[in-house]
Structure 1
Amino acid sequence: MKSLLTIARIIVGILFIFSGLVKANDPLGLSYKMQEFFEVWGWHGLHDFTLAFSVLMIGFEIIAGVAVLLGWQMKLFSWLLLLLIVFFTFLTGYAVFSGKIKECGCFGDCIPLTAMQSFFKDLLLLALIGFIFAFKHRIVPLLSQRNSILVLFFSAVFSFAFQWFVLAHLPVVDCLPYKKGSSIPEKMKIPAGAIPDSTVITFVYEVGGKQTEFTADAFPDDFDDSTYKFVKRYDKLIRKGNAEVAIKDFGLQTVYGNDTTQAVLSRPGYTLMLFVLNDYKQRQWNNQLDAVMKAAAAKNIEGYLVTSIAIDVLRIDAPASFQHFT
């Protein structure tokens, strides 16, 4: 029993620490995933708190993983882990059976898992944590009380300090298609050698009060019979391919609604795009970006202001040479 408990603790502890570290590399990714769930459930009022939720959840995953490995305060942490994994299993189960969420972001963007893969992973963790919970009274702490607290303290400091660093700068390991060095035009193309989806045209007809399906090359012998009534036609997926572009959501429109994406991306030389995420005040704009604009103008680099904020709402003194795109 002791050996089984130790193995279960090692698996759960390492998985929680690993999951937390991968997500800590980009806390915004988890916050966007939370927004996706909240959007589906209609909880729009929680959007502004998703980043805080993300940072706290990631920190707890790392701390809880360390606590399980140390065997410290297992009466408390076994309860917390059980509640958390039940919640995670509900989320991944909802994603699988509702079909409204494709990926759950369990291991961030670096290790994408399908909703089904995440669900089975959570079921395994649920069984392991349930086992730990049932026999928590048999777990002996690995270190003394003082040393355990020190290890957990530094784990907490590291988890939150690391998240602050990547939020203030960039992810240490960027797994997204927009990472430094990527070519946006190339990432918007289907990769060479990619395999397209394999589909077959399928017809649905009603005959004798029942619906029957058949493919375009397998019509029934008595199809000419007037009893066949057409219902619908669809493409049935036989084999999923990988002919998907890495960047699907990049587009630029002028204030008049004209799509200018390809015109901008096909320009020769360098292009400067300033992405405004918030309603910056004029003073902030001048202080922070004036030097950048002057350097670009001196080298005849075309500048664009990209934002979802309406131009009449934007309170910044951008140069007239900067075109405004949404």
Structure 2
Amino acid sequence: MAGVRRIKLGSQGLEVSAQGLGCMSMSAFYGAPKPEPDMIKLIHHAVNSGVTFLDTSDIYGPFTNEILLGKALSGGVRDKVELATKFGIKGFADNKMEIRGDPAYVRAALEGSLKRLGVDSVDLYYQHRIDTRVPIEVTVGELKKLVEEGKIKYIGLSEASASTIRRAHAVHPITAVQLEWSLWSRDVEEEIIPTCRELGIGIVAYSPLGRGFLSSGAKLVENLTNDDHRQNFPRFQGENLEHNKTIFERVSDLATRKGCTPSQLALAWIHHQGNDVCPIPGTTKIENFNQNIGALSVKLTPEELAEIESFVSVGAVKGGRYQNDFNTWKNSETPPLSSWKAT
């Protein structure tokens, strides 16, 4: 496979391509679903290029993204990839997420995902968001059973606090934590990243291109359609956007001097954070995919890394990551195990 190095994700044996492919935008949230034949062609192109770590979730659609991947993985492709999906977001009501982490739901969600994906097992199964009503030990206890049954190979968490990660890891080794990490989302560096590294847990960085902003700056915002949920993000609005434009301009300026694109620079920065980090940029276009994969050969000098730090240090970006009060790691504490009464 062409030029994509492999990394070990976590310490339980999972090996993935050093850059993955986030598949969400093919089916959901970023405007209308894209034509299925085109997306299958893109997925096959990614796998043939050496990007074999594919990321989806049952909530993408809902369900339609897993069905899409199921079609793309038929005909012998499944054996060439590391397949990750997620459970835990049952749906949305009143602009809030409904989160489930109870054992019956965990098991039912996996069975649904396996059927849609057309597979016998999933390589990496994440809890997409933490159910703050269910002790994390209970949720991971059920995931541990699914590992023992051979239905999942490795367990992951997404948007989990450091204390939640520790409690989960004590029940069964956590292989990866997926979190938003990029040049403009860096607050995870304070506590969560060090916790993962202490415990030997791999780090999967979603939205490493700042939801597209680090690729094209304000042009992205100007071209968002009404059904693209990014238009509601605080970072893309008003004074926040005006401030954040200047950050993109600095990134773009350095990229020009470096001879690469802004998106390649942003991805290269993530790759320079360590060999335990795998970014999973999403795209719906083969030309953008090819550009993203070029980031693997962009080498940043200590001076360039220091320059980047000078304008995108922690807290430099204005505006929250999400609108409203969407569940994130900042509110992912769960009750003590002693409080749980199985029903």
TM range (shorter): under 0.3
Structure of greater Rg: 1
TM-score by length of 2: 0.21
- Identify which of structures 1 and 2 has the higher relative contact order when contacts are C-alpha pairs closer than 8 Å and 6+ apart: 2
TM-score by length of 1: 0.21
